[in-house]
Chains A and B, each alone.
Chain A
Amino acid sequence: DIQMTQSPSTLPASVGDRVTITCRASQSISTWLAWYQQKPGKAPELLIYKASSLESGVPSRFSGSGSGTEFTLTISSLQPDDFATYYCQQYNIYSTFGQGTKLEIK
């Protein structure tokens, strides 16, 4: 199995901050990586696929980068609606998700 490790697990931040979440794969997954946002009681929403492709309708303050085993999700200027949990997902060999990063208000 490919293991996905996100860091940090919790990220306190303020509106307007630039934040970065990291996702590491236990083996190379090329760019077969997606990022999702999930709010309490709701289904996940796709933000990024193929490591850096922005899903239609997602604000441009979200961006993804990386390849191989290390990936990042960056939010350039946090908005109130962005406080949520973020998950990375590899889909190179079957699929596994990271354990999540909870973005909380500082």
Chain B
Amino acid sequence: QLQLQESGPGLMKPSETLSLTCTVSGGSISSSNYYWGWIRQPPGKVLEWIGSIYYSGSTYHNPSLKSRVTISVDTSKNQFSLKLSSVTAADTAVYYCACNLKPIGAMVFDHWGQGTLVTVSS
């Protein structure tokens, strides 16, 4: 059973760079046809797709965040990561990592982590 677990800082200050890691267990991140992605949800608000990465390394980003987002895969650690630069209070949200295990699209996810709350405050 594939499981995903996010890890990150919890609390950050404005202008810092957010770094989150998703550790994959029960499966290989380098398996073909899998997309891995990040989605966030500000408290009480709507879900927002941040970006996706294919097992081969091809990436897709939300245009509204693209200039601040980096998504990468570390096959040696079976992890993928998100970096979001120049954070502000508007980036306060629960961040989810997710994946899909069948070819349903780069931005649709059938497995999700439990989510991690990141708060940006001075």
Contacts and interface: CB of A to CB of B under 8 A. Distances in A.
A100 B47 CA distance: 9
B48 A91 contact: no
A55 B110 CA distance: 8
The A contact surface, by secondary structure, is loop
Nearest to B101: A56
A1 B65 CA distance: 13
Report the interface size class on chain B.
20 to 34
Top 7 A-B pairs, shortest CB-CB distance? A43-B112, A95-B107, A95-B49, A97-B47, A91-B107, A46-B110, A49-B104
20 contacts: A43-B96, A43-B113, A43-B114, A44-B47, A46-B108, A49-B105, A50-B104, A53-B104, A55-B110, A89-B107, A89-B108, A91-B107, A94-B62, A94-B63, A94-B107, A95-B62, A95-B107, A97-B46, A97-B47, A98-B46
Interface of B: 39, 46-49, 60, 62-64, 96, 98, 104-110, 112-115
